[in-house]
Structure 1
Amino acid sequence: MEIGKFFHSNYVMGTENMEILKVVIADDEVRICQLIQALIDWDSLGMKVVGIAHNGEDACEMVQQTQPDILITDIRMPGCSGLELVKRVKELDSALEVIIISGYAHFEYAQQAISYGVGHYLLKPVNKGELTATLQKLQKKIGERKESELNHQELVNKAKRDDDHLRANLIDRLLDQPDMPVSQDTLTSIYHLKARQGVYQAFCVKVDYGRKIISGGRMDGTTGMAGEREISSTSSEVLMEKVREALERNLKNDSRELILLIRDDYCYGILNYPESEKESIRRSMKSSLTQMEIQKNMFQHVSFSMAVGAAYKEAERLADSMQEARKLIQERLVKGDGRVLDCMGKASEIQESELLKKYLREITHAVEISSIQNAAEAVEDLQDTVNKAKEIRGSEIFELVYAAADIFAASIRIPERTATVEEFRKQCDKCGKIEEIFSCLGDFQQKYIQEQAERYENDTIRPVRKAKEYIQNHFSDPLTLEEVSEMVGLSTAYFSALFKKTEGEGFAKYLINVRMEQAKLLLRESNLPVTEICRKVGYNDPKHFTHTFEKAAGVKPSTYRKLYG
């Protein structure tokens, strides 16, 4: 049997909140052992006799097996004397308390016992009061020692927690304050890193849970809903801890310093290692990711990706490495999950500004008429363009979707727009695939357009909404106030007043603005003659159309085409 430390934290709390102390009795006389066991009220002392031996060899083995706090032994026994027993067990555990009991009041025995660390020497016949008092002293001594050890361990643990907190704070600051100055001196003196010459490198692991996507339209014109797959906070914590364990298991031995921080579905890390270990570190990263993938057997639909910033010799470049890792992790959208991402894809040739202009026109119209279907089509146009791109970065896709959400939020006048869009960004950050992030945008639009439509349905401005929708679909016809009033079921006078109150402008001016905006669009994006555009936007008289357009746009139609076409 391997002999380890005897001292263990085997706490058994009694009614008086005392730890039960274990006692072994050793004497070659059975009667003496029985007497000692019977003399003492062990329960009241918070003690328990866990073993009795009648020779030194058995006693030594029993001490190893039961790991007692106190040994009571005769000084002379056959085979192995009490003194020899004390010597052997004290060598194994110096904290073991020993009471020597003997019929021999010889100074040399007492002196030798003291030299082995025995502080209590009793003569036979054993006196109950004297033994009880000795045991009480030992109980107090052991209690104070264990409390001191606990306090010391708590101080050690607190120091470690403080160091861990400092190191986690370093990653927090590198993430939130990318311009924060860093040097090898600050890493060692402030953050207590054991950083030495070599390279510094940051990385991050992203866990994605996927989204449920139902494609296609419904009979009511709405699109299918998507949603984040449900996973409890406890399951998420367990999974992220598995990520941490895999990283520590694979990277700790190859690096001088490894710091990890879990933030939401990310695990960020910092490494410092000799430059010669670069390839070994990369292999360890791949191995970590492979071990994480095993979790897919327990957590359905989960995926893992790792991004690695560049390795720099200068500690001052650590923030750069962290920002590179943050941007690279977005490449999982186009390169797929289960990879170690360390190379940025090529920038696309997509004209984001033109894409967003088109989206703005489409989403403005969708919001205007509260059409979930039209809004969904605007998202589909964006996604189709992205899918057809030969080269595009994951970060470009994220930024395109964020910008589109901001435009939509402004168009539909969402209260607390900044906070709402920021929450949308957090939802997008959970997406690991292109179709998921666009479904997230579709859900975002649908939620607020549906809320707007419900407000309109229950509002006095419902007739105005219906009128605007009718105008948007029939502006090329010779519309009149009377015709539209009749369509919404109101008198001309009441409808006219209601329209102006709701929109801030009269029916006629609103109709002109709709027609002029459509005329601008046709002038910019088609080669149709001005006379044909005139008819398409509801005018039969080209001169009247030109005059109206010039008043609205500041230039004639032909000039507008030259400037913006």
Structure 2
Amino acid sequence: MYHVLIVDDEKYIRRSIINRIDWEKCGGEVIGEAADGEEAYEMIGLYQPEVVITDIRMPGMDGLKLAEIVSHEYPHIKLVLVSAYNDFEYARKAIQYGVKEYLLKPVMEEEMEEVLIRLEKERKQSEKNYSVPEISGYTAAQEEFTGGRFLVTSFYMPEIKDEVQRRERIFKLYHILTAHTESKEKQTKLLLVRDGREDQCSVLWNGNWITEEEVCRLLKELERQVGEDVFSFVGISRVLTAERLEEQDLFVLQAEGLEALKSKIFDRGKYLFFYEEDKQEYISKYKNELLRLYDLSVQEEWERLEWLMEEFIIHKLPGVSHVFELEFLIQELIFVLERHSRRFGYLYETQVLFHDLKKTDFLLPFENLLHLSRTMKELSDTVLSYSRSRDRYDVIEDIREYVQGHYMENIAVAQIAKQYHLNAAYLSTVFKERNNISLSSYIEGVRMEKAKRFLKEDWGNITEVALAAGYSDSNYFTKVFKKYTGMTPSQWKREKEEEN
């Protein structure tokens, strides 16, 4: 079953689509609805729908702009554009942005259902075309294996954003591996490990001949023969020898493959092996220095705290050579900053800033240690700069103030998130939790209140007021204003003049 997001600035149209369509027959379900492109973009990041049905003409970010962004950032999502305008230019742009269907209003339910059924057939066919044998912890014990030696390779493929392309790449990789092992007359079983990660895939190897070195040699030989980069990096777990593979065994091998893959940050080449580390050694190694950081925070010695934090980030991080040591240091430094933040009442905001660095595989997106070090320095400086002044830093409040000062510009959730080093979907969630309103709706509300003031103070005609309030299209502005106040700008202005 696929998931659908409905986007239209008219609530009754959204509800009409949701209520009139036989979703069970179409094989889909609605996971949400949005009133404009900005809100839709937030929800796409959060819920990852397979299909987006959107109107074209909407206030703020319209359907075509949404289609342009989605086609670039989420190319696997199928877009259905609905418009009341039979305009060739709209259709041309829609095709350019990879829109699957372009429907004219009023859309009959039979027409929409036909489109949705067709998209579902395409999705199922794609899955069928690129399916490979999979294994999970729950099915591990049910598999019949050829021998008692097991190993997992984790392949890193970050450049693939399209789900269809990802399936194609995994399908190609799997069958190249299968053909290559068969050509060597080696009794081998290969299974894709189901883990839900988007930027990598893991493969379980099973066969009596398997060793870490032999698998690495085979992969290198495979790439030479194929003549292209099938993957960016590969992490190779240790070999497990056992009569049968248990759920926990698969989990351990998969974790080792991922751990090996993380070591790409040390520029060790394309083929990366898992090495077990003495974790207690690192804890002891940095214990005294980390305690010193805690003490400096408690004693409010800002300059020395900043100096020692910089010493860690700029000088110690680039010298680290083991994955666990690096992860341990990063998490401890974040802990120090959060503990420091708690004293001044902005722990929540610091947690938002460091959200992405708390993920299990947070090291993977970083190109090298310098990249990681720069990011940590930037985030650390942000936290410490506010604590030095002893003012309570609230990133959400800061964003509200930013919107208040930049409402007349073409600001968007993604742009604001990037400026504050935040994940856009996470920022949207946190903002709504704190303010009971989405960030896109907050931007619209600020613009509307400014527009009312401009009208009251007679800043100019409707077009000039629209531009001053951040709307380049006066028709959109009028539509939003009427939805917001129940009156057109002219009616509202006239009513206020009569009141005075």
TM-score for the superposition, normalised by structure 2: 0.40
Structure ID, larger Rg: 1
